[in-house]
Amino acid sequence: MALQEKPIDFSLKNKEPGLARDSPGQASKMSNPRPDAGSSKDLQGIGSGNGSGRDSGIGTISAGENRYVLAERGGRNGRNLQDFGINTRQTMAHVKDHKTGTSGAPVKLMTNLFGLTLPTQWKLYQYRVDFSPEFASRKLKTALLYSHGETLGRARAFHGEILFLSRNIGKLNHLESTTRKGETVKITITLTNQLPADSPVCIQFFGILFKKVFKSLNMYQVGRNYYNPADPVIIPQHRLMLWPGFVLSIMKLESQLALCADVSHKVLRNETVLDSMKALYSKVPKERFTDICEKELLGLVVLTRYNNKTYRVDDIDWSTKPTDSFPRKDGSEITYTDYYSQQYSINISDLQQPMLVSTLKAKKSDNPDAPRAVHLIPELCYLTGLSSRALSDFRLMKDLSMETQLDPERRQQRLQRLADSIQRTPEASAELEKWGLRMDKQIPVTGRIAPPERIFMRDNVCTPGSPADWARDTRNEKVICVAPLQNWLMLFSYRNADVAENLLQCLMKVASGMGFHMDMPRIVQVEDNPVSFLRTLQKNVTPDLQLVFCVIPTNQKDSYDSIKKFLSLDQPVPSQCVQNRTLGRQQMMMSVANKIAMQMICKLGGELWAVEIPLKALMVVGIDINKDAVNKSMSVVGFVASTNARLTRWHSRCIIQKTTSDFADCLKMCMKGAIQNWQRCNNDLPNRIVVYRDGVGDGQLKMVVDYEIPQLLSSFRETKTSYCPRLSVIVVRKKCISRFYTQTGRGIQNPVLGTIVDSEATRPEWYDFYLISQNARQGTVNPTYYNVLLDENGLKPDHMQRLTYKLCHLYYNWPGVIRVPAPCQYAHKLTFLVGQSIHREPSPELSHKLFYL
């Protein structure tokens, strides 16, 4: 967008000056406005900033019986460091010695895991460094300490107080150094720990070491990942730029350390925040501009290309301009315009623009007077990611996927080039060699292919031609059961009458073939606006209605939200909404009608298909947590539990809790309700309960073990004194960076659907496995990672894996295998509806139906 010739006057009188807040009503200390404020760019050693505007700090972490010190925020490995202390496998006797299955056809697989080897008996030596007299400058401390290179050796890493070496220099060393001013400083180096290569701190240390390796390859860290700005991919028709890069993690596998590396892309818009603000200024009422602007920008992540760092926009300071001054560390003052001109040779053109505020994360080592936030120039901040409008642009997403969704062949080529670059670049290879670390070839693993599942319909058992899709069978076979639809309401606008009537005829046809009896609805035509739909519903919806069907004329979210709120809270009736544009292609109408009919059957409490479930008296639970889209301080907990032996009927509960974490506080109440509902449906209590917990992030396993599982166990005692069912809890993680490929005569391809990996690429202290339960038509398939934290059922690994795979066949919104077990996906859909549209707990009257599909 071309800049306007006349600058916009952003200083509107009806807006009070913005504050970057540490606490309500207090302005942040802005002693240094630089985007790299507080970082130590010139610090030798490790932990000198992670490229995200928030540099690494020093802190204490627990690992076993000892306490070690290392950078708290060192990327992915820093975030999941707490998970290293969780050894759940040793508590399960049936898998303590052997956790691999045996059934299924074996298959050889390639991975994106590179072996890391060290000399035998290698250790990392941790020392405490004290200076006398004491002083604060880390840069000076590093220079004085490193002047004793003969004593320390080449492999050294220092961060303020802690020194890491690859060799033992003795328990105590007394050294002296002289500053440029001639002052003598005494340095005392004391050995505090000797760490084996597989210790949590060493694994994190190796992650930081590879950060230096990537830096030597001229790659920049943005967030957790590393990118190469020198080799961008330009998509000019959409004003987008892609930085190619990698995401990495150091893992302790069954028998060795490994580097897990995967391809990543950073999407950058060739649009600055100032461009976006000016475009918004021309579209909205001037008196509402500041409020709308804050709503659009707050929470977004921006990138400053002069230092390739990312920041979250936390506030807009409307009272500060680029011509304002700020104090430097030496006490002098300088304007923002002069600072950027001197520091980066950048001239700021719009002198009336407000300033963005990004809050810095506090560190234990911070000085109390350290800046809490930074000011950023909108003109120099580029938007990252994609807007909601871009995500709905089919052509844009198609063009983007051509570059980002790499097939296994191209992905493997990228990884091989990365490994070759590390070996060929002298600085990179030298960084590893001086610590005795060697990067080996990719690790091969052996997987197994689970046999395909049979799909049970009402009259027949189907073996789909494709295990990933049985949509054709759903058109030709009758569903298991569904109540006749006799009393329902259909709403559409006057101009959509022809399309709606055509859809109704198609619905009647496909419903007949599925064994779904459908009477004609009561039809009401309304004006073409959201208010008319809501008013009509208020007049016509009665408690005896089975279903409300709405053909929405536009894709406006407000219209959809108002309908769902009313029919989920005020008058709880299952509802089906479809956009007019979905019905625009006549040749696709029968296919669309088939999918809509399936959703209607589910919302009436019907059952579409089933798979064989050998376990008796089994209740399966899915749990997921999402943030509320309106109130970010609120979390939406979705709890979905089966109510019959075939696992085809579900009971749901949604709780909104006030929390800033992803912890579930309401599991005891939800589980008690699910058990009581099972008892009403089956005249008995379930003997086995299997819980799939989705939405668990890095470093949160301990929370699930120590906080959530006890809630579930206590709910049994409160249900009935002597009630003690066998409980299994499995954490489901969709976002794992491990990848698997097969080498065939046609090259490197995705593994077959149903491939299981439970050895070599897994962790020794966990009962875990990977499962490929989705069919990737484009790009590389992403396996789902399962970690069994508790298994009182004592299921053999084969049985646990097969049960999980079976549940991936039971999601009624898609006639095929999905990426996660059905109850997890149901819980996700429930929390998404509540968090995005309803923002309140749905009526209990809908709890026994899949109303959220």
The residue assigned the tokens 């893992």 is 251
Sign, CA dihedral 150-156-159-162, equals negative
d(Cα 279, Cα 2) in Å, to the nearest integer?
Answer: 10
CB 762, CB 98: distance < 8 Å: no
C-alpha 503/C-alpha 595 separation (Å) is 12
What would the CATH number be for the domain defined by 482-603?
3.40.50.2300
Paired tokens of 593: 């009608």
Quickly tell me which residue has 């993690």 as its tokens.
Answer: 249
Per-residue model confidence (pLDDT) at position 59: 31
Runs of H (alpha helix) within 630-763 = 667-682, 701-703, 709-719
Report the pLDDT value the prediction gives residue 326, as an integer from 0 to 100: 87
243 bridge partner residues: 266
- Rounded CA-CA distance 339/325 in Å is 9
DSSP, res 27 = B
- Cβ-Cβ contacts under 8 Å for 120 (sequence gap 6 or more): none
- End-to-end CA separation in angstroms for the chain: 40
DSSP symbols for 276-292: HHHHHHTTS-GGGHHHH
Residue 317 confidence (pLDDT): 92
Closest alpha carbon to 252 in 213, 306, 197, 215:
197
For 382-407, letters b (16+ CB in 10 Å) and e give bbbebeeebeeeeebeeebeeebebb
Question: How far apart are alpha carbons 271 and 277 in whole angstroms?
Answer: 10
> For the chain (length 853 residues), average pLDDT per consecutive 10?
47 38 33 38 27 33 35 41 79 94 94 94 93 88 91 87 90 89 91 90 89 91 86 86 91 92 89 90 87 88 86 91 87 90 91 90 56 86 82 83 89 94 93 93 94 89 71 82 93 88 92 91 87 90 92 83 92 92 82 92 94 94 90 89 95 86 81 94 95 88 91 89 92 93 89 94 95 87 95 95 96 92 96 93 94 93
Q: CA-CA distances (angstroms) from residue 822 to 74, 315, 375, 772?
A: 35, 40, 46, 15
Q: What is the pLDDT of residue 607?
A: 94
* Cα 231–chain centre separation: 27
Beta 634-642 vs 726-733: how paired, if at all? Answer: unpaired
Instruction: Give the three-state DSSP class for 813.
Output: coil
Chain segment 371-415, per-residue pLDDT in tens: 578 899 999 999 888 877 777 778 888 888 888 889 999 999 999
Report the C-alpha gap between 501 and 492 in whole angstroms.
10
For the chain, percent helix, then strand, then coil, each to nearest 5?
A: 30, 30, 40
Tens of pLDDT, residues 533-571: 899 999 999 989 999 999 988 777 888 899 999 999 999
Query: What is the distance between the alpha carbons of residues 704 and 86, in angstroms, rounded to a whole number?
Result: 11
- The pair phi, psi for residue 317, each rounded to 5°, is -95, 95
Q: Answer for the pair 70, 204: CB distance below 8 angstroms, yes or no.
A: yes
Q: What is the pTM of this model?
A: 0.85
Question: How distant, in Å, are the alpha carbons of 672, 674, 723, 750 from that of 720?
Answer: 10, 14, 5, 49
Those residues with Cβ within 8 angstroms of residue 413's Cβ, 6 or more apart along the chain or in another chain: none
CA distance 223 to 134: 34
Q: How far is CA 197 from CA 116, 119, 316, 437, in A?
A: 10, 10, 46, 10
CB atoms within 10 A of CB 538: 11
What pLDDT does 39 receive?
32
pLDDT at site 45: 26
For residue 806, the tally of other CB atoms under 10 A from its CB is 21
For the 618-736+788-845 domain, the top CATH level (class) is: alpha beta
What distance in Å separates the CA atoms of residue 622 and residue 643, rounded to the nearest whole number?
Answer: 13
Kindly report, residue by residue over 779-815, the tens digit of the pLDDT. Answer: 899 999 999 999 999 999 999 999 999 999 999 999 8
Phi, psi of 82 (to 5 degrees): -60, -30
Measured CA to CA, the distance from residue 716 to residue 672 in angstroms comes to 7
The Cα 44–Cα 256 span in angstroms is 30
Burial class (CB in 10 A: 0-12, 13-18, 19+), 121: exposed
